[in-house]
Amino acid sequence: MDDSVHNLWEPYDTLALDFLIKERGLTEATIKEFPLGCILFDQWEPAPEWGLEEVLKDDGKAKKLWFPIGHVIPLCTGDQILRVRIRRPKSAGDPRYYLQRGSDTRAMILGTEKPVSIIVESELDALLLHQEAGDLVNVVALGSAQSRVDQWVSDLLN
């Protein structure tokens, strides 16, 4: 994951950083606070390197984790990575968003102390709302239109 953050700030692919700033409206401070990154080409890594158990393919060989090209949108608590979601470019086809195996599917919650909360689907939308109105509202990103709020989010909203 550190490599993806590094890739975003190095001049390898300025389009990735430009997309976040110019098209999504995020500031450099927000991008750094929620360590967004960029994977420059498809990569495969052994599951144990990510603290996951190996899954065997039909031929008995270990199945590797696929990290496709795209923007990395992690959900972290402190130094712990809870989720890795990758927003793939349109040209890459489906799926548009790839959720890494072993990722936690809980909602991204930005703030809990305000009397008003806004729910959105996309984590990038949530980051923008938090950046621009985080002093006024809590922001919750479900990550998928099919996701339902869990009890913790339900309690926050009531």
Indicate the helix (H) or strand (E) that contains 110.
strand 108-110
What angle is formed at CA 95 by the lines to CA 6 and CA 84, rounded to 5 degrees?
A: 40
Q: What is the pLDDT of residue 39?
A: 94
Residue 147 has pLDDT above 80, yes or no: no
Which residue reads 């926050």 in tokens?
A: 156
Strand, helix or coil at 50?
helix
Q: What is the pTM of this model?
A: 0.88
Confidence (pLDDT) at 12: 64
Question: In this predicted model, what pLDDT tens digit does every residue of 5-18 receive, in sequence order?
Answer: 999 888 766 889 99
CB count, 10 Å around CB of 122? Answer: 19
